[in-house]
Each structure stands twice: as C-alpha cells, then as structure tokens.
Amino acid sequence: MTTGFERGPVTRPALSRCISVSPDEFDRDFWGREPLLSRAATLPEGFHDLITEAAVDELVSERGLRTPFIRMAHEGSVLPPSSYTAPGGFGAEVGDQVSSEKVLAEFAGGATIVLQGLHRTWPPLIDFTRHLVDDLGHPIQVNAYITPASSRGFDPHYDVHDVFVLQIAGEKHWRIHAPVHPDPLRDQPWSDHRAAVAQAATHEPVIDAVFHPGDALYLPRGWIHSAEALGGTSVHLTIGVAAYTRADVVQALIASLGDVAALRSSLPAGLDFSDPNALRPVVDETLAALQQAFAAMAGPTSSGARRGAHAAAAAAAAAEPTSETETTSPATSMAASSPDASVTVSTHLAARFAAATRPEPVSPLATVDVIAALDTASRVRWRGSLHASVRLSPDGETVRIRTAAKTVSLPAEAEPAVRRLHEGGELSLAELPGLDPASAVVVVRRLLREGILVPA
C-alpha cells in the first residue's frame, strides 16, 4: 500500500516527469520494447531539484562517502579505489573514504566520477526513487555520472536493467544501437557478447543525439549505448530499474517444487552421470513429475491448465496399477493439495519486492515527540510505500498487519481503524472508526512505535 503516489493512476507523477508521452502509451509502446528520448521542452519540469553540480561537490567533499558509493573510470576502464580514496583521519580511520584531493586530480585528468546508490544517500533522490518505485512497481537504484569535457566514461555496452537517463548539467552526445542480445538477464552481462557489441556499435545508431539539461531518455535493458561529454562538465542521473521478468516467475514456481515428494527422491545409486542413455529414464520420470506438479499448481479458472492436470492424472493412472485402497492418482491428489500457481508466484515476488525496496524513512526523534503529546486532535497517516497486508486472525481475536519485516497484532476491535488508515490519507485520531478516544491513542501509539504510521 502506498500513500500519495499510488502505482497505477493515470498521471503517475514521478514517471510522468521522465517521459513525454502518457503513462499508458509508455506502458504499451515503450516499456521493455523501445527507447524513448524526451526533450526538456516536452516534460513538465526540469531535474535540478534532484541533484546539482553543487550537490556533487558536497557529496564528494563533505559527506564522507566510502566505496562502493563512489567509483571512477577513465576512457572505459574502472580505476582502482586507491586512486580516489584515503583514510579519513582521526576519528574516521577507515581506509576507503573518498579523498576530494584525489578525486580532483583524477577528474582534472579526464576521469568520470560515478556516485552510486544515491537513492540511499541524497534526500531528494531518496524521495523521488520511492515515488518512482510506486509508479513502476519494480526495484530502482540511482547513480550519477559526472564526466569532464570531451571525455568518454565507458565503452559501448548494454545494461542488464532498464534505465532512465536524466541530463542535469552540460551536454552529452549519446549513441544508441539496437540489442545484440535482447532482454538480457542479470547474469548475462554485455561482456559475454563483447565482440558482437563492439561490432554493433559501428553501425548506424538508432538514436544519435546531444542531450541538454532537462532532457530524458528511457532505455530498455540490452540496448547498446555510449556517451561523450561536450564542451564542459556533464552531469546526468542514471536510474536503473531492475524489472522482474517471466524468468523470475519460472524461478518462483521452481522454488516451490521442494514440496513435491517425487522431486525430492534420490537418484539411483551407481548412476553414470556421464552417460546420457543411463540418465534418460531418470530425466523422463523427472519431467513427468514436473509436468504433474505444474499442472497441479495451475489456477482453477484456467481451462487449459485443468485439461493439463486431468491429462497428467490420466497418464499417471494409466502408468501405475490401482488398488482398492488407492482411489486417486498422485497427480490428482497433488492437484487437490497444491497452491494455485498465481498465489505461489505472488507470494514469492511480493517478498522479493518488499526486500528490495524501502518504504518512507521515519524520523525517530520527531516520532517520539509526537507519541508523547498524542491526543485525539493528532493527525497521522500510513507510512509511505509501506506494503502490508491487513487480516483478521483465524480465531477472529486479533487484526494482523504483516509487512516484509514484521507482523503487528492488535485487538480485533481495531480492525476498522487499521483498514481506514491502510486506505491512505491523513486522519485525526478522533476520525478513526470503531475506537473510543483512549483506545485510539493506544492503537496509534503502538503503530507509530512500530513504524506502521507516521505523523502527518
């Protein structure tokens, strides 16, 4: 559940800042398919509220960054950390803090500065990233690339995640080429196709353009790109979107197969793994068990899946003799007991998403002060981007709020108030349904301390 920036509305304000088409058109025609270059004049506003050149200097010189939150590269090669880091001195003796003097020397010599993980270190981007995650529904990271004049940071390459490029300052000449390995997965880096990538980069680009401040580019994973700063320092943000794929759906289904007894059994003793013919019966049996397991997990509304389950059950029944005490085949009993595949995938991907993303930060000191002064006029709201389920316990005695990190249980009479808060918006304690003033204070105090609610 999110507050303020819901995933799915027509506007999707964070996404709309980065694209010159409607979110619906973007979803239909560009997401995961084609690059989209959006010029500043076609976008609602610039990006200087997110980061500036002065902010880069502040991060490098005053924030005590350590590796891997900074790295540097020169003409396509990543520099060793020792060339831009040093011990922090008395009270901060760690050896990998950024050294502003070393960064200056390398940058003046033509090296690119890469500030990594800005979605964790720079407040404007912490907020923006959270809103963009809500809009897109996939995990996101943010890096900044600061390139001196006429320098090229990295050789032509592709990324294994989608990116939005936001030009902040200066000008940069980008060349975009079509993929040689479409939709690469995270373990399929461009270096696996180095020769093909280099060859593709010699062809006519799909996009050959100079980016100016306020311009934005969406680039699906796999699209080859390179960039060169022109006439001065260039600063751009690269927003990496680690989109979940159908391969992730398959992995979620496979992860559940440990519950299938037929797939947990040991392989025969003395089996020669180097002999395909010896392995063939085992492979055939395993594939049959796998088909039965997937058919059993198929949703009840899928007629094709039901036919597959029935076919698997019939095949199993034909293959094995029945007895008076055995009235159902293994596939039939599996179908009766296995969870719906969509439930399995939903549970798996929701847990991964919750672990990979972060809700709105809380302010410990300010929250404690609000808790101490809590009364019916106090106003609170659900914590932004905090994904949670709200359910009654099986015995109906408690209402449970389950997040990725914890489960909070409250008396069942708090359920209407919890559900109203979960819907979003600011509420005073006096507006909470089903609770008297004293109970409202007790419930809200607990939810503030648990980081479920935040002061409005």
DSSP class per residue in 117-183:
-HHHH-HHHHHHHHHHHHHH-S-EEEEEEEE-TT-B-S-SB--SSEEEEEEEEEEEEEEEE--SSSS
Rg (alpha carbons) of the chain, rounded to whole number: 27
The CA distance from 250 to 268, in Å, is 27
Q: Residue 83 in contact with residue 72, Cβ under 8 Å?
A: yes
- Geometric angle at alpha carbon 423, from 358 and 243, rounded to 5°: 35
Indicate the pTM of the whole model. 0.84
Q: Please answer whether residues 375 and 455 qualify as being in contact, where contact means their C-beta atoms are separated by less than 8 angstroms.
A: no
**What integer is the mean pLDDT of 110-122?**
96
Give the whole-angstrom CA distance, residue 25 versus residue 21: 6
Residue 338: what pLDDT?
55
> Quick one: residue 394, left, alpha or beta (phi over 0 = left, psi -120 to 50 = alpha)?
alpha
Report the pLDDT averaged over residues 247-252. Answer: 94
Least confident range of 168-172, 253-257, 303-307, 359-363:
303-307
Q: What's the rounded mean pLDDT across residues 26-40?
A: 98
Model confidence band, residue 153 (pLDDT cutoffs 50, 70, 90):
low
**121-134 burial by CB neighbour count: b if 16+ within 10 A, else e?**
bbeebbbbbbbbbb
For residue 150, what are its two tokens? 């006429």
| Cβ–Cβ under 8 Å, residues 360 and 454 | yes
- What whole-number distance in Å separates Cα of residue 43 and Cα of residue 368? 41
**Whole-number pLDDT of residue 314:** 39
Phi, psi of 264 (to 5 degrees): -100, -10
- Name the average pLDDT for the chain: 89
Mean local confidence (pLDDT), 40-60? 97
Q: What is the pLDDT of residue 8?
A: 42
Tokens of 237: 């943000």
State the pLDDT at residue 287.
94
More confidently predicted of 90 and 24:
24
* The dihedral formed by the CA atoms of 299, 300, 303 and 305, expressed in degrees to the nearest 10: 40
Task: Provide the token pair at 220.
Answer: 């699906």
Rounded to an integer, the average pLDDT of 276-290 is: 94
Is the model's pLDDT at 1 over the cut of 50?
no
Are the C-beta atoms of residues 70 and 97 closer than 8 Å to each other?
A: no
Q: Is the CB of residue 256 less than 8 Å from the CB of residue 344?
A: yes
pLDDT at 163 over 80: yes
What pLDDT does residue 154 have?
Answer: 76
Q: What is the pLDDT, as a whole number, of residue 303?
A: 46
Confidence band (pLDDT; 50, 70, 90) for 151?
Answer: confident
Taking only the tens place, the pLDDT of each residue in 301-339 is 544 444 443 443 334 334 444 433 343 434 444 444 456
In this structure, what token pair is assigned to residue 188? Answer: 């399929």
Tens digit of pLDDT for each residue in 350-397?
989 988 999 999 999 999 999 999 999 999 999 999 999 999 999 999
Query: Residue 296: which pLDDT band, with cuts at 50, 70 and 90?
Result: confident
Q: What is the model's pLDDT at position 11?
A: 74
Single-letter amino acid code for the residue at 448: L
Residue entry with tokens 């590796």 = 67
Closest CA to 367 of 384, 386, 380: 380
3-state secondary structure of 399: strand
- What residues pair up with 98 in beta bridges, in sequence order? 85
